[in-house]
Amino acid sequence: MGEWSSFTAVVRGLCLLYVTNKYLGTVTITYGPSMLPTLNVTGSMLLVERISTRTGKLRPGDVVIFRSPEAPRKIVCKRLIGLEGDQITYVVDPQSGDRCETIVVPKGHVWVEGDYIYNTKDSRNFGALPYGLLEGRAFWTLLPRKDFGPLTPKPE
Amino acid sequence: MLPTLNVTGSMLLVERISTRTGKLRPGDVVIFRSPEAPRKIVCKRLIGLEGDQITYVVDPQSGDRCETIVVPKGHVWVEGDYIYNTKDSRNFGALPYGLLEGRAFWTLLPRKDFGPLTPKPE
């Protein structure tokens, strides 16, 4: 009987973990230069919550994770710049000048950009992101230790 | 999705394994999160996978003008079976694969349609 009760305890623990992961929040590890200086190049561990994306309470300036529209198995982390209906002016290619373009974010979509605009693949490359691809909002950095704390607004 | 699905409502059995493992094939009936209304789940037929060349009738009610496109990477092309009254990839473009929720493979209701979903009627 002892093995059975510990087995059910394990099953219950896994169910709780699954429900938490799917509906409440998760931990994600990011790497790459596209979100400098906010995130670390060699890797950051972020705490992500899924409630804001489910209830639709996201605001521009939030750091969000989403499923890449070009590589569906990849989870990408960028900053939310605009919601549907917002008018976005962006620099098309920062490395080759200051040419700007202005668009309105279509219905059911959002506009995301990396903080380090010189080396990032974001909505400037793949266009407005369908809202259904959003996975969660990152709100706290766990690692590296020196960055432990809430994620900051976009540096000017 | 006439005549495959019922106008007043069909209950379908949907499996999520094909979408997760990537084993979808053109002709499958899939459900996905609408790219224009993220809380809405839509059911259409998968016509093409990434890299496929799709020729489609732009507006069946106003003639036979066709357009051909290649489905971009990470996207799929979906169309309703009843092309005269459907909002599908012809309207909102190629669908990002990440929005797919599952593959419908069996009709439960209405009773007269009980059974596997058929390939697209010609």
Collapsed DSSP state (helix, strand, coil) of residue B32: strand
d(CA A117, CA A96): 12
Say what the ipTM of the complex is.
0.83
Q: What does the domain layout of chain B look like in residue ranges?
A: 11-116
Among A39-43, A69-73, A105-109, the range scoring the smallest mean pLDDT is: A39-43
B93 φψ region: left (φ > 0), alpha (ψ -120 to 50), beta (else):
left
Mean pLDDT of the region A64-81: 92
d(CA B95, CA A118): 28
CB pairs under 8 A between A and B: 41
d(CA B56, CA B60): 9
Query: Chain B closest CA to A65's CA: distance in Å?
Result: 13
Q: What is the CA radius of gyration of chain B?
A: 14
- pLDDT 10s digits, B63-112: 788 889 999 999 999 998 888 888 889 889 999 999 999 999 999 988 88
Q: Is the pLDDT confidence value at A111 over 90?
A: yes
What class has domain A28-150?
mainly beta
Q: Do A67 and B36 touch (CB under 8 A)?
A: no
Per-residue confidence band for B122, with pLDDT thresholds at 50, 70 and 90 = low
Q: Do A133 and B72 touch (CB under 8 A)?
A: no
Q: Which of A52, A66, A73, A110 should one mutate to test binding to chain B, selecting the residue with the greatest count of B CBs within 10 A?
A: A73
Query: Chain B closest CA to A100's CA: distance in Å?
Result: 25
Q: What is the mean pLDDT of chain A?
A: 89
Report in angstroms the alpha-carbon separations of B121 from B13, B57, B118: 20, 17, 8
Query: Chain A closest CA to B45's CA: distance in Å?
Result: 19
Comparing alpha-carbon positions, the chain B residue that sits nearest to A131 is B38
Q: Is the pLDDT confidence value at A83 over 90?
A: yes
CATH superfamily, domain B11-116, is Umud Fragment, subunit A (2.10.109.10)
Enter the pTM of the model: 0.86
Q: What does the domain layout of chain A look like in residue ranges?
A: 28-150
Which residues have C-beta within 8 Å of that of residue B9, sequence separation ≥ 6? B109, B110
Give the catalytic positions of A in this structure: 34, 78
